[in-house]
Structure 1
Amino acid sequence: MASAQVHRIAVIPGDGIGHEVVPAALEALEAVAALDGSFRFAFDRFPWGCDHYLETGRMMPPDGLEQLRGYDAILLGAVGHPSVPDHVSLWGLLLPIRRTFEQYVNLRPVKLLRGVTSPLRGRGPDDIDFVVVRENNEGEYSNAGGRLFAGTPHEIVVQESIFTRRGVERIMRFAFELARRHPKRRLTSATKSNGISYTMPFWDEVFREMAARYPDVATDQFHIDALAARFVTHPHHFGVVVGSNLFGDILTDLGAAIAGSIGIAPSANLNPERQYPSMFEPIHGSAPDIAGKGIANPVGQIWSGAMMLEHLGHPRAGRRLLAAIEHALAERGVKTPDLGGSATTREMTQAIVRSLDEVPDP
C-alpha cells in the first residue's frame, strides 16, 4: 500500500475569532483526510498577529516570510484588533504574505448553501452561485503615496493606484480560463471608467483584448455602482466576475451578505504558478465583539480549507467537505447565531465532521 502524501501547512490563527475557527477547520481537515486515506497533514502553528505586535512591535518576526516560504499552503484565521491600527496590522502580516508570494488571485465563491436563507426574497441556491476573481497585488491598494504638511491647513494626502499591464493581463487570463470551465461560461468585468479616467479605461481595454482570445466566453461589464445593485436584483446572471483589488473586495462582502452571512464566506489567495505557497482564509474579520464567546461561525474557515484541498490536488475531498457543510446546515439544521440558530462554534464543527460520514463520496 502506498504511503499517504503529506502536506505541510503553516497555520496562523491570527486574532480574535481566528483562535476559535482555525481549530475547527483543522479538525475538519484531519477528519476528511482520514476518510480519504491518500493524504495527511503536518500542521505548524505560528502565533503571529496583534498580540505578537504588542509584545514585539512587529506582526511577525523579521524572517517570517522566509519561515513560510517552504510550506505547501498557509491557513490563516483573521487579522486585526482594536488595540492595533488596521493599516498596521494588515500591512504587517496579511498584505506582505499576499505580495511577497505573488498571490495575485483572490478567489471568492458567492454561493447560497442549502439550509441557509438569503436576505433576498425568493432566492434559492440555484439563484446565487458564482465566483468573484479579485486582483490581489496592486490596483487601489498599492502602497504608494504620502502626506505633506500634516496637521496644518495646507495638508496634502496622496494615495496612488497602480495598475500594470502584467498585473491586469494575468488576472484577466485567470478569470477567462475559470469562466471557460464554469457552467455559465460568462465573465463580467467590474469597472468605473466613466469616473476614473486612466486606470479604469486601461482595465477595460485589456478586458476587450483578452475577450478576443476567448470567443467561447460570453462577456459583459458594469460600472461598479450598477454592478453592486445587480448583485442584489439579478444574482442569477453571474458566472464569474473579475474586479480590481478595491472593487473585488467590496463586491465580495456584498456577495457574502446576499449568500446569508459573512461568516460562511471563504477565500483563496492563489499563486497560480505555484512558485510560492498559496493562502486560504475566510473573508470575515477577527470580530472582537464576539471573540471568546464560542459562537463564531466556523463555516467560512472550514470552506476555505475545502478550497485548500482542491488546490493541493484533492478536489474530491474538497467537494466532500463542502457537501458535509451543506448537510450539517440543511439536513441536521445546525446553525450559529449569525444564521439565525443557537449552535456554538463547537457544535457547528461537530455537525460538519459527523456529516462527512453521511454524504456520498463525490
Structure 2
Amino acid sequence: MDSITVIPGDGIGPEVVECALEVLDALDAGLSIDVLDHVHADRYRREGQALSEADLSRISASSAVLLGAVGRPDVEETGYVRDVLLRLRISFDLYANYRPVRLMHDRLSPLRDPARRMLDCAIVRENTEGLYSGIGGNLRASSPQEVAIDADVNTWHGVSRILDFAFSTARREVCLVDKANAVRAGGRLWQECWRHAAERHPGTATRHLYIDAAAMKLVTEPDRFDVIVASNSYGDILSDLAAALAGGIGVAPSASLNPQTGFGLFEPVHGSAPDIAGKGVANPFACLLTTALLIRHLGHEAEAAAIDAAVAGSIAAGRVTPDLGGSLSTRQVTQAVLASL
C-alpha cells in the first residue's frame, strides 16, 4: 500500500488539502494517509523550526508528500519557507520540478485569438541549482556602497540529469530555454550538456530558444510547445507565464521529483494566499489536479484521470470559484467534483 504524507501548512493550504483528502477518500484508491498538521508558521514562530528530524523520518517512510501551502506575511523575513521547501528539496534531492500546463476551457485563456489558445505542455525546471542555490552575499550592507552578489550555480551533473528527465517526459519535442548569448559561462555548460543529451535521445525532436524569445512565443504560439526545460529561475518564470495562459495559478499543479528514487513533493502553485484564507472562496482545483498528478505518479492512472475529468467538467459547466468567474464556494466546488466522480 502506498503511503502519502500530507502537510496542510498555512493560509488556504488546509482548506484545499481538506478537499483533496475528501476526493481521495471517495476514490478509495487504497492509499495510506499520514497528516502532519503541526507543520506551519505558528510552530516555526514558537519553536524556531518547522520540520523536525522526526517529521523527516515520517516523510521518509512515505512514497510522496502532498503539501497545501507554506508562508505567511508575518514570517516572510525569517527563512521559514526556505526551512520547509528547500529542506525537503535538498533532503530528498528533488531536482526535477515538473509543471504540466493544459488549457481546460477556452474561456479561461486571456488570448483573444481562439486559434492560438491551445496549450498542453510541461515546464521542466532544474530545482536545486542556479540562482536559487543561496550562494552569495552582501558587502557593506545597508550603505550607499552596498554590493550584492548571487551566484548562478550550474554543474555538469545537475544540468545533464534535468535534461535527461525532460527527454523522458516528452511526447514529441524538448525545447531548451537559456540565455547562453549573454550568460556565457553557465550558458556554455548548458549548451554542451544539451548536445550530449540530444545524442542520447535521438528519437525526440529538439529546439532551442533564448528566454526572452521563449516568453514571447509562449504567448504567440503556445500550441508549438511540448516540453520546455530550463534553469531554476528561467523555469520559474516561464511556468507562471504558462499557468496564466491556461487560466491562472488556481488551476496550476506542480511536482518536485527525484526520478531515481521515485520520491516526490506535490504542491499546488498558488501558495498560501493569506488575503483569502478562511473566507471559503479558495479555488481547490490546483490542489485536486496536483493530487491527480501525485496518484498518477504512484501508478493510479484511472483514479487520476477521473479527477482530471471531474475538474474539467466542473470548469466547463461553470461550477467554479470567483477567481475563475464563478460564484461557488470552496465547499460547493468540491461537492461538484465529488458528484462528478
TM-score, normalised relative to structure 1: 0.90
Task: Determine whether 1:293 maps to 2:279.
Answer: yes
Query: Residue 252 and residue 81 in structure 1: after superposition, are their counterparts in 2 closer, same or farther (change >3 A)?
Result: same
Paired letter, 2:290: S
Structure 2 equivalent of residue 13 of structure 1: 8
Deviation per residue, 1:174-206 (Å, 9 max, x gap):
111211xx1xx1111110112111112211221
* Residue 342 (structure 1) aligned with residue 333 (structure 2): no
Distance apart, 1:164 and its partner CA = 0.9
Specify the SS of the correspondent of 1:296: coil
Matched, 1:76 2:67: yes
- SS across alignment from 2:184: coil
Picking from 317, 337, 347, the partner of 2:303 is: 317
Moved more, 300-309 or 117-126: 117-126
- AA at the equivalent of 1:88: G
Question: Which residue does the alignment assign to 1:333?
Answer: 318
Q: Relative to 1, partners in 2 of residues 1:211 and 1:201: Cα closer, same or farther, differing over 3 Å?
A: same
Distance change in 2, residues 1:86/1:127 (3 Å): farther
The 8 Å contact of residues 112 and 124 in structure 1, kept in 2 or not, is answered as no
Aligned pair count? Answer: 341
Compared with structure 1, are the counterparts of its residues 125 and 10 closer, same or farther at alpha carbon in structure 2 (3 Å cutoff)? farther
For the pair 1:207 / 2:205, whether they are aligned, the reply is no
1:29 counterpart letter in structure 2? L
What is the rounded CA distance, in whole Å, between the counterparts of 2:151 and 2:19 in structure 1?
39
Q: Which residue of 1 aligns with 2:256?
A: 269
Q: Is the 8 A contact 1:112 1:125 kept in 2?
A: no
Runs (5+) with no aligned partner, structure 2: none
> Does residue 1:283 correspond to 2:244, yes or no?
no
Separation (CA, whole Å) in 2 of partners of 1:124 and 1:29: 36
- The secondary structure found in structure 2 opposite 1:198 is helix
Structure having the larger proportion of residues in helix: 2
CA contact (8 A) 1:9 1:74 kept: yes
Q: CA contact under 8 A between 2:106 and 2:117: conserved in structure 1?
A: no
Aligned position for 1:360? none
Paired position in structure 2 for 1:135: 126
Q: Aligned partners of 2:194, 2:168: CA distance in 1, in Å?
A: 13
| Contact kept in structure 2, 1:115 and 1:333, CA below 8 Å | no
Matches of 1:18 and 1:199 in 2, distance apart? Answer: 36
Report the counterpart of residue 359 of structure 1 in structure 2. none
Which has the higher mean CA deviation after the structures are superposed, 157-166 or 235-244?
157-166
Choose the corresponding residue for 1:157, options 128, 138, 148: 148
Q: CA deviation at 1:249?
A: 0.8
Output the CA distance in 2 between the equivalents of 1:72 and 1:215: 32
Please say if residues 4 and 31 of structure 2, whose CA atoms lie closer than 8 Å, have aligned partners that are also in contact.
no
Greater displacement, 281-290 / 47-56: 47-56
Question: How do 1:25-40 and structure 2 match up within 5 A?
Answer: 25-32=20-27, 34=28, 39-40=30-31
Counterpart-to-counterpart distance in 1, 2:88 and 2:76: 18
RMSD (Å) for aligned C-alpha atoms? 1.7
The more displaced of 146-155 and 93-102 is 146-155
SS for the counterpart of 2:132 is coil
CA distance in 2, matches of 1:294, 1:247: 34
Q: Is the 8 A contact 1:266 1:301 kept in 2?
A: yes
Give the SS at the match of 1:282: coil
Q: Following TM superposition, by how much is the alpha carbon of 1:132 offset from its aligned partner in structure 2, in angstroms? A: 0.8
Residue 87 of structure 2 corresponds to residue 96 of structure 1? yes
**Contact 1:8/1:71, CA 8 A, preserved across alignment:** yes
- The one-letter code sitting in structure 2 at the alignment partner of 1:355 is S
The CA distance in 2 between the partners of 1:319 and 1:125, in whole Å, is 26
Contact kept in structure 1, 2:117 and 2:222, CA below 8 Å: no
TM-score using structure 2 length: 0.95
Report the counterpart of residue 145 of structure 1 in structure 2.
136
Q: 1:148 to 1:79 in 2, by over 3 A?
A: same
